[in-house]
Structures are given as structure tokens and as C-alpha cells.
């Protein structure tokens, strides 16, 4: 792991880590909590850690890590397929707690273009819904929501 991180740093590439729910792997879910990675975040402050799947069901832990560690990024990849409701709830919380430049609103690795298109559409629809709610609540102006969406 350390050799891979060092090479990624040298190549200026992010380190992408699957955390939380991992479909069909039979993993022991408690081993996928992102808090187990804290020592790496501390040891490699120059690395950029992209933490996948919102660490679902450990989303609160990832929220705290992304807020407190400058090298930890929160990624919603696959969350709109796992649970659109959870994805909206998580994004709403991240908007209020995590710096916007550290939030990845969409990602996936579909094997066919139609799957990627459908997933991207789901993501756009759910992100738009969350941003509209933030405007209705008065958290964002319409212009601020648009700027957030364009980041």
C-alpha cells in the first residue's frame, strides 16, 4: 500500500479507495469503515485520497474525515444506484459541512455506455433536487446553487 501511495504522489494521481458497501464481495462490512485509513491520511498529507461510495453506511465518518483532513475527498460514486434517497441526504449534509471542492457528485464504471448515461442522468436529477431544496430552505441563492453545480 505504501509503495502505491508513494508512486501516486509522484505521478500526481489521486488514491481511490473503495469503502463502505461493496456489492457482491462478501466483505466484512466493519472492515470498510474509512476511519481505519486515518493513519494513511496523516502519514501522507501530500496525497489526495478519493473515498468511494460515500463510505455508505459510514457516511458520517467520511463527512468528518473530509471536513478535517485537507487530503481527503468525498465521492458519491455509485450512490444513486445504491440508494437515491441516501445519496440526496448525504449530498445535502456534505454541502453544509465539507468544502465544495472536495465533493465528487458522480462517478461510476459501467461496462456499457447506456448504463453510464442512465447513471449520470440519475445523478443530475438527484443533485438538482438537493440544490433546489437548498434554495427553498434559503441555504443557497439560485445563483449560488448554480455555481455549486458547475464546480
Q: Tell me the domain boundaries of the chain.
A: 2-150
Considering the entire predicted model, what is its pTM? 0.92
| Cβ neighbours of residue 46 closer than 8 Å, sequence gap 6 or more | 9, 71
**What pLDDT, on the 0 to 100 scale, is given for residue 68?**
98
Work out the average pLDDT over 79-96: 96
Per-residue confidence at 129, pLDDT binned at 50, 70, 90?
A: very high
Work out the average pLDDT over 1-11: 96
Assigned C-alpha cell, 26 = 462478501
91 against 151, higher pLDDT: 91
Which secondary structure element, helix H or strand E, spans residue 16, and what is its range?
A: strand 15-17
Instruction: Give all strands of the β-sheet with 49-51 in edge-to-edge order.
Output: 15-17, 49-51, 72-75, 103-104
Work out the average pLDDT over 121-147: 97
Which has the minimum average pLDDT: 9-18, 42-51, 53-62, 108-117?
Answer: 108-117
**pLDDT digits 0-9 by tens, 105-120:** 988 778 899 988 999 9
The span from the first CA to the last CA of the chain, in angstroms, equals: 31
Mean pLDDT of the chain: 94
Per-residue confidence at 5, pLDDT binned at 50, 70, 90?
A: very high
**What pLDDT, on the 0 to 100 scale, is given for residue 24?**
66
Topology annotation, domain 2-150: TIM Barrel (3.20.20)
Amino acid at each position: 500500500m505504501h509503495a502505491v501511495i508513494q508512486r501516486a504522489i509522484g505521478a500526481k494521481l489521486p488514491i481511490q479507495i473503495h469503502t463502505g458497501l461493496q456489492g457482491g464481495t462478501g466483505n466484512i462490512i466493519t472492515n470498510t469503515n474509512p476511519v481505519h485509513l486515518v493513519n494513511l491520511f496523516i502519514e501522507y498529507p501530500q496525497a489526495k485520497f478519493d473515498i468511494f461510495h460515500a463510505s455508505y453506511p459510514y457516511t458520517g465518518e467520511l463527512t468528518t474525515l473530509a471536513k478535517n483532513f485537507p487530503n481527503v475527498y468525498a465521492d458519491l460514486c455509485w450512490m444513486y444506484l445504491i440508494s437515491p434517497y441516501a445519496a440526496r441526504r448525504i449530498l445535502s449534509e456534505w454541502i453544509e459541512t465539507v468544502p465544495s471542492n472536495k465533493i465528487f457528485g458522480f462517478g461510476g464504471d459501467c461496462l456499457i455506455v447506456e448504463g453510464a448515461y442512465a447513471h449520470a442522468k440519475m445523478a443530475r436529477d438527484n443533485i438538482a433536487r438537493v440544490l433546489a431544496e437548498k434554495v427553498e430552505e434559503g441555504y443557497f441563492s439560485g445563483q449560488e446553487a448554480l455555481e455549486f453545480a458547475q464546480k
